[in-house]
Amino acid sequence: MMVRVGETGNVFNLSSLKDFERSMTSHCFAIKFVRDGIERYTINNRSYTVHSGSYLLMNGYKEGRVIIDSEKDVKGMCLNISNELIADVVSTIQAPDTPVSDLELSNFFYSKEFLENQYHAPHTELGRKLQHINNSINNQTFTHDLVNQELFYQLAEALVSDQVLVFKQLQSIKAVRNETQRDLCRRVLRGKEFIDSNYSEILTIENIAHTAGMSEYHFFRLFKQVIGFTPYQYILSVRLRHAALLLKADYSVSDVAVSTGFADIYSFSKAFKKHYKIPPTHYSTRF
């Protein structure tokens, strides 16, 4: 089953398929979000296995193949956003802290240098919007009349916002070959997503680097170069960010300390006060 809404350029597709295989060429920006199940893609000889709650993003310079092979229906959501709409959004961006010209940033979106990659939806602005649409579909509150120009503007803005950061991260990697640069960036982002998804667990440089497919030191050095924090600094920042949200929701300090991966209340309280300049016991009442 496939449902298609929209005209050439901006298109919204919903699918529910068990056995499907076809080649594909994107002529605009394509977002392949998996609502339930697994979809497998090959893009320019690179393989991607996209699970529920994740999406693959590519621009119009990519060719590939998609395979769905499942005993139960795999539910997907594919959105195409026109090059013209992305260009309109990019042209409005002011990026004074980017050490490159706006022309370089603009060219990035339409060139082979664009980083086709898969992302876990909760960790990107675009992904969170896709999750919101998916929740509306599941709750049967999403109707065809909501697939309008405003929706595509919102998705385009989120896409560009995410990719401006990726552009800066790519620029921070000094590699001779562009493909090497993109591969290293993908590996670092894979490690970052692993931290984002498992921040409450016991994490080591070894297991994060293994997930990224890199040696420990190479990952440590490159992560700091691309993300701007060491892996441990980033783990701590993620834990504290989630801790603040839980405290605002009136969870107890002891429960927050455990659920965010701290060894004990003392270490949590010390780290929280150092970061937010206020004890966690006072945070929910102040904010």
Residues 5-17: tens digit of each pLDDT: 656 679 999 999 9
Q: Is 170 exposed, middle or buried (0-12, 13-18, 19+ CB in 10 A)?
A: buried
Containing H/E element for 212? Answer: helix 205-212
Averaged over 49-59, what is the pLDDT? 96
Gap between the Cα atoms of 222 and 218, Å rounded: 6
- Which amino acid is it at 196? D
Q: Tens digit of pLDDT for each residue in 204-238?
A: 999 999 999 999 999 999 999 999 999 999 999 99
Q: What is the pLDDT of residue 286?
A: 64
Question: Which of 29-38, 88-97, 227-236 bottoms out in mean pLDDT, i.e. has the lowest?
Answer: 88-97
| Degrees to nearest 5, angle at CA 30 with 27 and 32 | 145
Q: How far is CA 5 from CA 1, 9, 85, 111, 201, in A?
A: 14, 11, 17, 27, 42
Q: Mean of the pLDDT values across residues 112-124?
A: 93
Q: Are the CB atoms for 111 and 61 separated by under 8 Å?
A: yes
- 3-state SS of 156-208 is HHHHHHHHHHHHHHHHCCCCCCHHHHHHHHHHHHHHHHHHHHHCCCCCCHHHH
Burial (CB < 10 A; 0-12, 13-18, 19+), residue 152, is buried
Is 26 in a helix, a strand, or coil? coil
Q: To which residue do tokens 């921070």 refer?
A: 172
pLDDT exceeds cutoff 50 at 101: no
Residue 170 confidence (pLDDT) = 92
Residues 134 and 77 sit within 8 Å (Cβ to Cβ): yes
Under a CB-based contact definition with an 8 Å cutoff, are residues 163 and 119 in contact?
A: no
Bridge partner list, 63:
25
Check: pTM over 0.85? Answer yes or no: yes
Burial degree of 149 (CB within 10 A; 0-12, 13-18, 19+): exposed
Per the structure block, which two tokens stand in for 18?
């068990």
| Confidence check: pLDDT of 165 > 50 | yes
